[in-house]
Structure formats: C-alpha cells, structure tokens
Amino acid sequence: MQVTIDGPAGVGKTSVGKKVADRFSLLFIQSGQLYRALAYGKLNQMDYSSLALNPEGDSNLELTIGGEEVTKKLTSEEIAEEASKLAKKKEIRALVNDRISRIARDQDVLVEGRDIGTEVLPDAEVKIFLTASAKERAKRRKKQLQIDRPLKDIENGIKKRDERDQNREISPLRPADDAVILNTNSLDESKVVERVASLIGDYLKD
Ligand code: C5P
C-alpha cells in the first residue's frame, strides 16, 4: 500500500505522518530528509550517488551518505536552505524519486513531501495534501524546535521556501487532482492524525 502526504514546510507532515505510519505499520519516508542528506553531502564534499536508504524494522528509515549515518544531523536551517536549492535540480529530483520508488515497490509505505502524490507515487492509494497559513506554521515550528528567533523571521523564512517550492519549474508544490486537501489551521495534531487514519481505514474497508 502507498500513502502520500504532501504540503508546505512546517504544516505537520512529519509528526502526523510518523504517527499514522506507526499505526498502520507502514515504512515512513520523509522525502525532505533525502534532499537534506544530499545537502549535507554537498556541504561535506560527498558523492551524491552514495545516498542510501536502509529500512529498520517496519516503520523506521536510516539514511546514510558517504557511509555516514546522517538521519539525526539534518535539522539546521543551513541544511534546509541548501536542500531547497538542490531540490530545484532535475538530476537531484530524479535521484531522490528513484530511491523512494524502489523501496515503495517492495514495502508498504507512507511517504511525505511536496510532490509525492503528483510525481513520485502517482498511483498511491491514499493521497493527502495538508495546508495551513504561513503564520500558523511559523508558530508550530517555533514551538517544536524551540527556536529563539522572532516569529516574523521564522514566518518569512517559511514564505521564502513556499515561494521557491511553489514556483520552481520541475515538480512544484501542488496537490494531486485526486488528493484529499485538509486545512489544518484550526485542527490540532491529534485531529489531523484521526482524519488521515480514517481515510486510510476507509480505503482498507473497500
Ligand atoms: O520537508 P523538508 O523541510 O525537510 O524539505 C527540505 C526541502 O526539500 C524543502 O524545502 C523542499 O525544497 C525540498 N523538498 C522537495 N520535494 C520533496 C520534499 C522536500 O522539493 N518531495
């Protein structure tokens, strides 16, 4: 089974996706982490093709580049910024998409990102697109990462990334025609989890 959750930066794809993936024993893949791992590789002069995805058990994924385990080293703004720049490149997107679709052929997956339902797994059985205002997303990010910067700064960073993700030529951020769009502005995380879980439950019943 393939489930996709797409949406802009900071909308909650990761926290929601992880919980839903655990509940249904789906391998959880954060596609942004692959771009971030490549950004880490770039900043450390590593070969992009050495990026590897190693599933651990049912739902966890470990990422290595140049043989180095980088899963927990990818949260900085510097890496996010570099990842968003790299994500504009066709050959980089092709590399990431190839790694993801190979795994999704053999295992039940929940993949989150920007273009998973549109480009990477267009035949996925359940597709979700999460939205929330830039201000709401900035508030969540500040709280989650305990960032010691003014909210407005964080919001501006998010807007800049939105702009880049929505307007790039290849695979811009947009919902697939058959995605269910969930506006999460006034929904807390547990409600979003329940909505997504019930969409998967409905699919499994049919
Ligand atoms: O989701 P995350 O913030 O970790 O993603 C880092 C960057 O990777 C994003 O800003 C975006 O530019 C890029 N990305 C993408 N397509 C995806 C996932 C992430 O272009 N499917």
Instruction: Count Cβ neighbours within 10 Å for each residue of 5-28 and write b for 16 or more, e otherwise.
Output: bbbbbbbbbbebbbbbbeebebbb
* Ligand 1-lining residues (CB < 6 angstroms): 9, 31-33, 35-36, 80, 83-84, 87, 113-116, 161, 165
15 phi/psi in degrees, rounded to 5:
-65, -40
Higher local confidence (pLDDT), 177 or 165: 177
Pair 140, 12: CB distance under 8 Å: yes
- HEC secondary structure over 64-120: EECCEECCCCCCCHHHHHHHHHHCCCHHHHHHHHHHHHHHHHHCCEEEEECCHHHHH
Predicted local distance difference test score (pLDDT) of residue 86: 94
Give the predicted TM-score (pTM) of the model: 0.92
Question: Looking at domain 1-26+109-201, does it have CATH number 3.30.360.10?
Answer: no
C-alpha span between 126 and 107 (Å, rounded): 15
Pick the atom of ligand 1 nearest to 164's CA. Answer: 12
Q: How far is the CA of 114 from the centre of ligand 1 (A)?
A: 6
Pick the atom of ligand 1 nearest to 165's CA. Answer: 12
Q: How far is the CA of 7 from the centre of ligand 1 (A)?
A: 10
Q: How far is the CA of 158 from the centre of ligand 1 (A)?
A: 12
Residue of the CA atom closest to atom 20 of ligand 1 = 87
Pick the atom of ligand 1 nearest to 120's CA. Answer: 21
In single-letter form, the type of residue at position 182 comes to L
Q: How far is the CA of 206 from the centre of ligand 1 (A)?
A: 33
Structural domain boundaries in the chain: 1-26+109-201, 30-107
Question: pLDDT by residue (tens digit) across 89-135?
Answer: 999 999 999 999 999 999 999 999 999 999 999 999 999 999 999 99
Among residues of the chain, what percentage have pLDDT more than 70?
Answer: 100
Q: Are 1-26+109-201 and 30-107 in the same CATH fold?
A: yes
**H-type helices in the chain, by residue range?**
13-24, 31-43, 77-86, 90-106, 134-145, 151-167, 189-205
CATH topology of domain 30-107: Rossmann fold (3.40.50)
Please say if the pLDDT value at position 5 is more than 80.
yes
Residue of the CA atom closest to atom 2 of ligand 1 = 32
